[in-house]
Structures are given as C-alpha cells and as structure tokens.
C-alpha cells in the first residue's frame, strides 16, 4: 500500500500559484509561507515542492537533495523570523500526520511557531 496524494489539496494549489500566499522564503525544493490563522507571533508553514502527504512519506521516499533542502529551509526560516537560538528565544516545530495527528491539509508541512512562550507540548493522558 502506497501513499495516496490528493493534488487538489490547498497547499498543492498554493504551489501551482492558484492561491496566493505570504512567502517567507523559497528554495529549489521547498516553500515557506505564513499560516493563514497564526497561533503565535511567528507561525510559518514549510512545505516541500514535491507531492508528499506526510513526514513519513517524505522521510522514506524523498531524494537526499529534497531532504537537505527542506531541513535547511526550516533552519533558515527560524533565522529569518528571529526565533533561532543564535538570536531569538526559541521555537517549536510541529508536523501533524494523519487521523491521530489531526492533519488538516494532506501535503507535508512543518509548522514553525515562536515569538512567545508556547507552554507545554501536550497534556498528560
């Protein structure tokens, strides 16, 4: 059973230029843009240009060039937004996947959140 990618998802449409976005940074294999409903002063979504549903899909099937570009883009975004540990107060990365991860958009995206104290990650069960 493979990964089933829906090319009508909203981030695929952003990548095709069908829907506008507020770009923070772009590279050969990745795009970073502001979340439309920010949950922190910094809330940027980083997506690969390739058709990957989730982090596991990307980690297992993307090329090394795509993976390096993606990870470097996340680091660059943290720096551009001033939340990196070189300059800022830190950040949180979130990659929701699938039903249990409560993923809304089925194209891999890492949320880069920062600019305020974010509280604990999860509540105890």
Give the total residue count for the chain. 125
The answer to whether residue 96 forms part of the interface with ligand 5GP (CB under 6 A) is yes
Burial status of residue 18 (CB atoms within 10 A of its CB: 0-12, 13-18, 19 or more): exposed
- Work out whether 103 is an interface residue with ligand 5GP (CB under 6 A): yes
Binding to ligand 5GP, residues 51-90 (CB under 6 A): none
Nearer to ligand 5GP, 27 or 103 (CB): 103
- Sign of the dihedral through C-alpha 38, 39, 42, 43: negative
Instruction: Quote the CA–CA distance of 16 and 26 in Å, as a whole number.
Output: 14
User: Which tokens sit at 120?
Assistant: 């604990």
Residue 29 falls in the annotated catalytic set: no
Q: How far is CA 76 from CA 56, 68, 92, 122, 124, in A?
A: 22, 12, 14, 26, 32
Closest by alpha carbon to 56, among 12, 17, 100?
100
The reply to whether 36 sits near ligand 5GP by the rule CB under 6 A is yes
Q: Which stretch binds ligand 5GP (CB under 6 A): 46-54, 70-78, 83-91, 98-106?
A: 98-106
Pick the closer one to ligand 5GP by CB: 10 or 51.
Answer: 10
Q: Give the one residue of 21, 30, 54, 73 binding ligand 5GP; rule: CB under 6 A.
A: 21
Spot the catalytic one: 57, 107, 109, 111.
109
Binding site for ligand 5GP (CB under 6 A): 10, 19, 21, 33-37, 45, 96, 102-105
């Amino acid at each position: 059973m493979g990964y089933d990618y829906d090319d009508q998802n909203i981030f695929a449409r952003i990548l095709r230029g069908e829907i506008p976005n507020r770009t923070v940074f772009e590279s050969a294999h990745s795009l970073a843009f502001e979340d439309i409903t920010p949950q922190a002063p910094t809330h940027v979504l980083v997506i690969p240009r390739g058709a990957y549903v989730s982090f596991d899909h990307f980690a297992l099937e993307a090329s090394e060039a795509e993976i390096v570009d993606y990870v470097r883009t996340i680091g660059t975004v943290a720096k551009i937004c001033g939340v990196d540990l070189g300059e800022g107060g830190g950040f949180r990365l979130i990659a929701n996947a699938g039903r249990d991860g409560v993923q809304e958009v089925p194209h891999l995206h890492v949320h880069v959140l920062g600019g305020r104290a974010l509280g604990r990650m999860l509540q105890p069960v």
